[in-house]
Amino acid sequence: MLDVPRVALDRPATYEDLVTAPENLVAEIIDGELWTSPRPAPRHAVAYARLVSLLEPPFGQGRGGPGRWIILAEPELHLGTDALVPDLAGWRRERMARVPDTVYFALSPDWVCEILSPSTAVLDRTRKLRVYAREGVRHVWLVDPDTRTIEVLVLEAGRWVVVDAFGASQVARIEPFDAVELELGLLWVDAAPNPGERR
């Protein structure tokens, strides 16, 4: 059973249901159903903020890396009839040259990152992954602050394949951002990076 509350409605969920959801909750529509989840807990929020600080300079801004990406926090994705809010998403600039002047994104991202928590992990790993696969998202990272791991999934022939996993204080190159080494130890609360541990 999913820990994320599914809001019982006697009809398919609509965009109006999203905008009227309480502000302290993240609301999503998946398979016509409204799902709400709480805002991130501290471990989740730390991993989220630190991952942005690792990826944005080299890939979003081109400082110390190749640039060529637009990386956004909690974008609202309208993919078919579904409305999803991943923790992070990225678009290659050749597909999305600039951020559109809309409140949501209709173009599926090239990369999505879901930072798992006990209340969202099942939803992230099941229903949301199916939508991302249907829409052709090429890469998904599943980041687990409790186990201090990152699973890397790549879409192959419409199915997710786990191509690698990283953890603890590794320094690693992780696709699609493998042009730059990332110090994973920086992501975790109470964890100090160990520059000597490399993949």
Domains in the chain, CATH or no CATH each? 40-187 (3.90.1570.10)
Identify the pLDDT of residue 79: 97
pLDDT the model gives residue 4? 56
Dist CA 72 CA 87 (whole Å): 9
Enumerate residue ranges in the chain where pLDDT < 70: 1-4, 6, 191-199
* Residue 80, token pair as written in the block: 């078919």
Beta bridge partners of 35: 6, 28
Closest CA to 170 of 138, 190, 195: 195
Element (H, E) at 69: strand 69-73
